[in-house]
Amino acid sequence: MAEEIKMEIKRAPFVAVMVDETTDVANMAQLSLVLRYVTATGVKECFVKFVDVTSGRRADDLAALIFHFFEEYECSLDKVVAQCYDGAAVMASGLNGVQAKVKEKVPMALFIHCYAHRLNLVLTQGVSKLKECKVFFANLSGLAAFFSRSPKRTQLLDDLCKQRLPHVAPTQWQYT
């Protein structure tokens, strides 16, 4: 699959990179790297990989990782027209953030704030004002924990639904 993406990137006239950092359930910081590019059949978006960034989450470290990513996927910097991150200062700052570091080498790479993060902010603000929503999300978050913490309840769920709920994991959703 990586070789196919490399070939498509070589033929693509325009490429954008989307990067997001999160901490997984093992408390490891990881960066997700996604490429979005133009093909003969339209725009294609491909998740490429996760990279462990526990040891270096400064703007210089992350920008260097992005440039290494471009090299690894044989993406010429003159094709890069956009970069998309969340609003964290280390990523979005126009002075010393990742977007500024990328823009130094790739002046045409416009910064675009991730709309999924904007949606999360809008929902967070909206939900924080509505008691019913707070209760709903609290119950939703507690449902998987309720079943997973008891072998009897897990077995009951298996018997009735023939399916298990996903394991409880911290999420980015903020509703209080």
- Predicted pLDDT of residue 35: 92
At 128 the pLDDT is 76
Show the DSSP H helices in the chain as ranges.
2-11, 59-72, 89-92, 98-105, 115-128, 131-148, 151-161
pLDDT class of 71 with cuts at 50, 70, 90? very high
Domains present along the chain, CATH in parentheses = 2-113 (3.30.420.40), 119-161 (no CATH)
Whole-number pLDDT of residue 19: 87
Q: Across the strands, what pairs with 18?
A: 34, 84
pLDDT of residue 155: 83
Phi, psi of 15 (to 5 degrees): -140, 145
Tell me the pLDDT tens digit for each residue of 76-86: 999 999 998 87
- pLDDT computed for residue 117 by the predictor: 65
| Most trustworthy range by pLDDT among 21-35, 79-93, 96-110, 159-173 | 96-110
pLDDT exceeds cutoff 80 at 3:
yes
pLDDT at 176: 42
Taking the model in full, what pTM does it have? 0.65
Nearest to 157 by CA among 173, 144, 141, 138: 144
